[in-house]
Amino acid sequence: MGVQQPTPIPWPLSSFPGTSGQESEGRLINVYVEPLGELEQKKFKWVRSTGLSLFAATANSGYRGGLIVDLLSYECWAANASTVDAGGNVVDIGAFPGTQKVSIARNNAGPTPDVVAVDPGTGAYVIGSAPVLPASATATIGGATFNAADVITIDILNPALSPPFPVSISYTVVGGDTAATVAAALNALINANATLIAANVTSTVLGAVLTIHHQGTIGNQTYLVGAVTTGSETITFAPTSGDLSGGQGTFGAFSGIPTAYTGQGAMSGVANSVCFQDGYLFFTFPGGLVFATEINSLLMNGLTYITVQAKSDVTLLRGIAFSGLLMLFTTGSCEVWQDAALAAPNFPYSRLVVLETGLIQSAAIAGFETGFAELLWVAQDFGVHWMTAGALTQIKASPPDLDLLIEAQVRLGNTLEAGAYIIGGKKFWALSSPAWTWEFNLSTRKWTERWSLTPAGVYGRWRATGGHPAFGKWLMGDEQSGNMLFADDTNRTEAGTPILYRIESGPVKKFPAQQRVARADFDFVVGVGQAVGSVTTNVKGSVAGTGGVVRLTVATTANMSTNDEAIVSGVTGTTEANGTWPITVIDGTHIELQGSVYANAYVAAGVVIDLTSPPNAQNPQVAISMSKDGGQNWGNPLIRPLGAQANVLRSRVSVMNMGLSGTMGCRWRLDVTDMVYASFLGATQSSDIRMVGS
């Protein structure tokens, strides 16, 4: 048989696993493709997907979603809401019932916005708001004489809660009463009245002056009217009108603990989503109702609502503010509404158009986050659909392999969740189920599978969940802990855990069957090893940490791990930090020096050098395997070096004498697990050991 010239091995640009290995045209696992030069040149590199770094450590679990609000990021976990600041410091807000993925929105109320999160199973909760100050008015009791049997009455009115208002508080004068004793008696009656207690109306007394407070569940719209039915006693109000004005009452007495929100009773049932646009918070309900608040407020008129009714056999799942429009996704359609500037109590928007593409599950949509501006979601056809800001046209973005996987998970009753992030100028959209994660690169329109190593030592779905911008990063939850992570393209790990870099080729069909595969050459970027001491970071501050040890604020903890040995030098002020220490990684910008004792305030400068090289990072390797039966079985991997740092004497990685090619064409698998930069440029196989592919 003649010598076969070097034959290019076909590598996929998207992952195509097929229903069985025999159908596969190649797979990309934790690998995405970037063009080299112009796209029409058809030159590409296959690089490792972005790593994950620790941003904040928490004791929570079951991440549900978050949103940046000024200088704090509001984050939700199972049964909990907390805030996280730019330094990764976590402060508990309180119990937030539920475990499902939330929608979360804020308004532009000042100086402190209202923040509302909605769990589809437990409804709407306010998790952030300005402290609500009570409105108040005074009623001063006066008169020259107080005659027994005279009746003094204060009528407390509230138009928003009528009935049971008005409430009349009456006191019958007894012998010996004075202005002060009458005021004290009225105070006791007000504080004991069940209707007033339910409406958060209370009072205090000082001498003859009765001060009535309203902690406003209905916007502090309580009014006082005094009446003396008999005798010469008097009641003087301040303000003169008796209006309990001057407070900041909104939805209720928010004291910093997540508080159920019903729009002052305007909304009944359990809301399943919230979004914000044009000053309004919009709340949706499964039956099709959509309520709007007043502008930049949590006040709500019970008549300010609409019903989505283009179709009757659907469930309203989610309201999404996108591209200046309100998109109301049902299980079978999407009603698009636009701001019509209609005055209250009218609903402020009017319907623009109805799209025939619905949403399959409430959490299977992402990309509306600020700065992303690309909306992708899973529709009722089990496909991923893509809409760009500024247009209502959409395209189907998912390949058939992913459509089949989605359908299987939905039929099993499993939850789909979507997330988005931006890294290195590229936008990525990820879709996860309990069994898998697929990721879409919007720049190249190509798909990658994402796997994470679990604590059990097996690979499962990607550990990152969600995704929203905050503090110049894209924050995500961690499925394997309660920690906050962020996408970090300088980190070759997932919070210290190795990332499998795997590429599987399609079958080499142009190479004759039963011909010797004398060699295969793989064009990797080599010399990527990580020398000891190459992981460095600058010190930016210090405080006393756990148990009084030195806690350093550093530029980044990427590629550092707890118990690594590090040398600290050049710190002034906290000079006790200088030296060699085992470290504890606290979050993305903090480490503690084990065994140290904090004594002096930080002044300036300092460098930390991590002396512990990750496993095999100094001399990284690639494992090369071949299959001759269409990917059903793989041969034992051959281990080849990728080169120590800057060692580029060889430009290719090669394997020799791989036997005869199979009738189904050879398929190749490349695996890299070492924590280094991994980039692959292509490969060939040849029947002549002397013929090296270009």
Same domain for 591 and 628?
Answer: no
Same domain for 43 and 159?
Answer: no
Structural domain contains residue 567: yes
User: Counting beta carbons within 10 angstroms of the beta carbon of residue 574, is it exposed (0 to 12), middle (13 to 18) or buried (19 or more)?
Assistant: buried
pLDDT of residue 632: 87
Same domain for 606 and 622?
Answer: no
368: confidence class by pLDDT, cuts 50, 70, 90: very high
pLDDT of residue 3: 57
- Write down the residue that tokens 């207690």 correspond to: 197
Query: What's the number of domains the chain is made of?
Result: 3
Q: How many CA atoms lie within 13 A of 481 on its CB side?
A: 14
pLDDT of residue 360: 98
Which structure tokens are listed for 198? 């339910």
Distances, alpha carbon 553 to alpha carbons 84, 474, 556, 602, 612, in Å: 16, 20, 9, 10, 20
Same domain for 149 and 184?
Answer: yes
Structural domain contains residue 156: yes
Quote the CA–CA distance of 511 and 519 in Å, as a whole number: 13
Which structure tokens are listed for 445? 């329109």
What kind and span of H or E run contains 274?
A: strand 273-277
pLDDT of residue 372: 96
41 has a pLDDT exceeding 80: no
Q: Which one of 50-64, 272-286, 543-557, 600-614 scores highest in mean pLDDT?
A: 272-286
Q: Could you say which DSSP state residue 604 is in?
A: B
Structural domain contains residue 665: yes
Which structure tokens are listed for 442? 């919007």
Determine how β-strand 550-554 pairs with β-strand 464-470.
Answer: unpaired
170 has a pLDDT exceeding 50: yes
Quote the CA–CA distance of 50 and 488 in Å, as a whole number: 6
Concatenated DSSP letters of 400-444: HHHHHHHHHHHHTTPPPEEEEEEETTEEEEEEE-SS-EEEEETTT
pLDDT of residue 246: 42
Higher pLDDT, 240 or 519: 519
What kind and span of H or E run contains 197?
A: helix 194-198
The CATH number given to whatever domain includes residue 187 is 2.60.40
Same domain for 152 and 230?
Answer: yes
Least confident of 137-151, 174-188, 206-220, 622-636: 206-220
Concatenated DSSP letters of 484-535: EEEEETT-SEETTEE--EEEEPPPBTTSPTT-B--EEEEEE-------TT-E
User: Counting beta carbons within 10 angstroms of the beta carbon of residue 690, is it exposed (0 to 12), middle (13 to 18) or buried (19 or more)?
Assistant: exposed
Which structure tokens are listed for 516? 């010797």
Same domain for 605 and 651?
Answer: no
Cβ atoms of residues 213 and 135 within 8 Å: yes
Domain limit, last residue, from 192, 211, 238: 238
92 has a pLDDT exceeding 70: yes
Which structure tokens are listed for 94? 């309180």
Same domain for 524 and 628?
Answer: yes
Output phi, psi for 33, to 5 deg.
-105, 140
Domain hosting 221: range is: 135-238
- The predicted-structure confidence for 384-438, as pLDDT tens digits, reads as follows 999 999 999 999 999 999 999 999 999 999 999 999 999 999 999 999 999 999 9
CA–chain centroid gap for 84, Å, is 12
Domain limit, last residue, from 588, 610, 632: 610
Compute the average pLDDT of residues 67-85: 96
The CATH number given to whatever domain includes residue 572 is 2.40.30.180
pLDDT of residue 512: 81
The one-letter amino acid at 90: V
Same domain for 560 and 630?
Answer: no
Cβ atoms of residues 379 and 398 within 8 Å: no
- The predicted-structure confidence for 308-362, as pLDDT tens digits, reads as follows 999 999 999 999 999 999 999 999 999 999 999 998 899 999 999 999 999 999 9
Cβ atoms of residues 620 and 642 within 8 Å: yes
Structural domain contains residue 19: yes
Summary mean pLDDT of the chain: 89
Q: Which of 94, 23, 85, 1 is nearest to 588 (CA)?
A: 85
Quote the CA–CA distance of 358 and 355 in Å, as a whole number: 8
Compute the average pLDDT of residues 508-514: 84
292 has a pLDDT exceeding 50: yes
Same domain for 604 and 623?
Answer: no
Same domain for 525 and 573?
Answer: no
Quote the CA–CA distance of 481 and 73 in Å, as a whole number: 19
Higher pLDDT, 665 or 640: 640
107 CB neighbour count, 10 Å cutoff: 20
Higher pLDDT, 212 or 326: 326
250: confidence class by pLDDT, cuts 50, 70, 90: very low
Same domain for 218 and 141?
Answer: yes
Cβ atoms of residues 503 and 682 within 8 Å: no
Cβ atoms of residues 554 and 538 within 8 Å: yes
- The predicted-structure confidence for 194-205, as pLDDT tens digits, reads as follows 988 887 788 999
Q: Which of 469, 492, 494, 467 is nearest to 480 (CA)?
A: 494
Domain limit, last residue, from 610, 630, 655: 610
- The predicted-structure confidence for 492-505, as pLDDT tens digits, reads as follows 889 888 899 999 99
